[in-house]
A and B are shown apart, each in its own frame.
Chain A
Amino acid sequence: MSMLSLERVTKRYRVGAFGGRELTAVRDATFAVKAGEVVSLIGESGSGKTTLGRMVLRLASVSGGHIRFDGTDVSRLKGRKLAGYYKHVQGVFQDPFSTYNPIFKADRVLHTIRPTFFPEVSAAEWRKRIDTALESVRLDPRQVIDKYPHQLSGGQLQRMLIARALLLDIKLLVADEIISMLDASTRIDVLNLLADLKERGLGILFITHDLSLGHYISDRAVILRRGVVVEMGTTDKVFGNPRHPYTRTLLSSVPQMHHKWTRADIARTIDGSCAIHDGGACAGEPQLVEVDDDHLVGCAAH
């Protein structure tokens, strides 16, 4: 049973004077995240991956389709019901220094959630819970409490946001490029932290442009291109046996350590053009086709 499931989720923006033109940022995205599973949403800029994450978090409205969480359609929740949803679903964003209001102390983000979600808990009890949550993301409360955001490192700030989510009754975390602004030597620890939380049953939607990060942490991968899912499935299959030409191009372009770019990987991307219509004419059908157990691919012409 999937905890979060997206059914043909679509996002259209009105652009231009008086909203005359329509722009589709995400079209018919359908995938699911189970409890205790990391699903990577991988795409380049403009792929709609961030928009999808924002729709799951209901920070962007959903133009079409349904987002279900534990069976309930959450795509049009409002007010108190939406707050109830946020008790279980939280987000961490790319830029830690923008996620914290610079004029307040950083640990304020841990306090502002109490009146909404746990008004019955006393301030003293809450402080104890904060200490526990900080320790579980491997932060020393004495070092991070009562500090302004600029006095902490990006890694510490991101961990504190994860601690904030843990204070709630969190079931799903949307992590949008959360380590791309951290320094190389400390970013992997934040990634490992996510993986540990996953093992404790947390579902994670891991949004990234970085294939190596997606591969490192995720159980399943969804490749997004210009708002459309082109390939998805278990990480082993998507990365080990990519079927869509776009996935292959991505994989051959990603700079790897211990393996230099060769002409051969480019050639490999050009061969078998469409995994569905082997040799035949592509009709460009919109549906993903299951080419293997839990491995879906879109038509290359689409």
Chain B
Amino acid sequence: MSLRVDNLKVYYRTLRGDVKALDGATFTVADGEIMGLAGESGSGKSTLGKSLIRLDTRMRLVEGGVELDGKPLPIGDQDAMNAYRFKAVSLIPQYAMSALNPTRKIGKMISELLGARGVKYSEIKPELERRLDLVGLKREVLNNYPIELSGGMKQRMVLVLSTLLNPSLLIADEVTSALDVSTQRAVAETLVEFRDREFVKSMIVVTHDISLVYQIADTIMVMYAGKLAEKAPADVVVNAPRHPYTQLLISSLPEVGVRYADRKLAGIPGSPPGLLNPPAGCRFRDRCPLAFARCVEEPPFVEVDKNHHVACWKAQ
């Protein structure tokens, strides 16, 4: 098991109290697994993605633990995490463009970044160039400033950079949402290629776009209102989901081939509960067509089938 997350709770501090953005997540990511992490805004997917690498000042680790390759990952301790970031856990942020320092040439920046981690640039340069070739970037880009690269090129550059030290876990946060469809596909496929070549062991791809993550992920985990709803192999999530939320969500997504005139899709009535004082029990029950008396108790996230976890009383 590459990553094991155990009952992780991360809250946001606000003036009016804690916002329970991530309220108890227990799951594993296997070696070589690309896990798509899907959910709407406010589902906690970004909080989960971020908390595995860097808690910002408003985020508070409430309880739970994370293990990476069998060793605990000190996510609550920002200084201790420094030893793991980039080497063991790495992140591709959503806006790669702003992640690159605009005043530094890219090569220079990489060299500084490596220097800070005690790695010699000259030693790693041949590997860096090989990987640039692989993603279709010219070696000359190392002498360019970030502004000279297009959005897709920057995204690929950041991908190469963030995986340069072969981390165990890569977190890709909405990496393709700012890109055009044609570039999107290229970047998404590069993610798979990097996993295949074992530049990274496993990957969490955070996204709001299930149809995109379906293309590249082995498994998909769906979150709702700070809780895990369902995790299963990608085909199962898309074709035979068991959680009512996943079912309704998948059936509400238009795709090429579906026309309003032929088949009218429907959304999910209602909206997610506020996370300041979320109601007890299943958080989807107000919107759930299958809700029944037992839903006031919180359904556990259990394995209902091989590698298929669902948090719903009706699915058990």
Report whether chain A binds chain B: yes
Query: Chain A residues in contact with chain B, CB under 8 A?
Result: 44-45, 153, 183-189, 191-192, 195, 209, 211-213, 215-217, 235, 239, 249-251, 253-258, 260-261
Whole-angstrom CA separation of A261 from B256 in the bound complex? 13
B215 CB to closest chain A CB, in angstroms?
A: 5
Whole-angstrom CA separation of A256 from B215 in the bound complex? 8
B263 CB to closest chain A CB, in angstroms?
A: 9
Cβ-defined contact, B267 with A189, below 8 A: yes
**Within 8 Å CB of B260, what residues of A?**
191-192, 195, 216-217
Q: A255-B214, A260-B214 given as contacts; is B239 within 8 A of A188 (CB)?
A: no
22 intermolecular pairs with C-beta atoms under 8 Å apart: A185-B248, A185-B249, A186-B271, A187-B252, A188-B252, A191-B260, A192-B264, A192-B265, A211-B181, A215-B254, A215-B257, A215-B258, A215-B259, A216-B260, A216-B265, A235-B259, A249-B182, A251-B256, A255-B185, A258-B239, A260-B214, A261-B185
B135 CB to closest chain A CB, in angstroms?
A: 17
A223 CB to closest chain B CB, in angstroms?
A: 12
Q: A212-B258, A257-B210 given as contacts; is B267 within 8 A of A186 (CB)?
A: yes
Interface assignment of B308: CB less than 8 Å from any CB of chain A:
no
Whole-angstrom CA separation of A186 from B266 in the bound complex? 8
Query: Chain B residues in contact with chain A, CB under 8 A?
Result: 40-41, 180-182, 184-185, 188-189, 208-212, 214-215, 238-239, 248-250, 252-260, 264-268, 271
Whole-angstrom CA separation of A44 from B178 in the bound complex? 11
A256 CB to closest chain B CB, in angstroms?
A: 5
**Within 8 Å CB of A260, what residues of B?**
214-215
Whole-angstrom CA separation of A106 from B215 in the bound complex? 40
Cβ-defined contact, B259 with A212, below 8 A: no
Q: A239-B256, A258-B238 given as contacts; is B265 within 8 A of A188 (CB)?
A: yes
**Within 8 Å CB of A192, what residues of B?**
260, 264-267
* Contacts between the two chains (Cβ within 8 Å), count: 103
Most buried by B among A45, A183, A185, A215: A185
Most buried by B among A188, A216, A249, A260: A216
B202 CB to closest chain A CB, in angstroms?
A: 20
Whole-angstrom CA separation of A192 from B209 in the bound complex? 20
Cβ-defined contact, A212 with B256, below 8 A: yes
A190 CB to closest chain B CB, in angstroms?
A: 8
Whole-angstrom CA separation of A212 from B41 in the bound complex? 21
Q: A216-B265, A249-B182 given as contacts; is B208 within 8 A of A188 (CB)?
A: no
Shortest Cβ distance from A42 into B: residue: B181
Cβ-defined contact, A209 with B265, below 8 A: no
Q: A44-B182, A235-B259, A260-B215 given as contacts; is B254 within 8 A of A216 (CB)?
A: yes
Q: Which of B41, B215, B250, B266 contacts A255 (CB 8 A)?
A: B215
- 4 smallest CB-CB distances across A and B, nearest first, come from A44-B180, A185-B268, A216-B254, A253-B185
Whole-angstrom CA separation of A282 from B168 in the bound complex? 50
Cβ-defined contact, A209 with B41, below 8 A: no
Whole-angstrom CA separation of A158 from B255 in the bound complex? 22
Shortest Cβ distance from A260 into B: residue: B215
Cβ-defined contact, A255 with B267, below 8 A: no
Cβ-defined contact, B254 with A213, below 8 A: yes
Q: Which of A186, A195, A209, A255 contacts B212 (CB 8 A)?
A: A255
Cβ-defined contact, A185 with B40, below 8 A: yes
Cβ-defined contact, A250 with B266, below 8 A: no
**Within 8 Å CB of A185, what residues of B?**
40, 248-249, 252, 267-268
Whole-angstrom CA separation of A246 from B189 in the bound complex? 20
**Within 8 Å CB of A261, what residues of B?**
185, 189, 215
Most buried by A among B40, B239, B260, B271: B260
Q: Which of A191, A209, A258 contacts B180 (CB 8 A)?
A: A209
A215-B258, A255-B185 known; 20 new pairs, CB 8 Å cut-off, are A44-B180, A44-B181, A183-B40, A184-B40, A186-B268, A186-B271, A188-B265, A189-B267, A192-B260, A195-B260, A212-B211, A212-B258, A215-B254, A215-B256, A216-B254, A216-B259, A255-B188, A256-B211, A257-B238, A261-B185
Q: A188-B265, A192-B265 given as contacts; is B252 within 8 A of A258 (CB)?
A: no
A48 CB to closest chain B CB, in angstroms?
A: 14
Q: A189-B267, A192-B265, A257-B211 given as contacts; is B256 within 8 A of A45 (CB)?
A: no
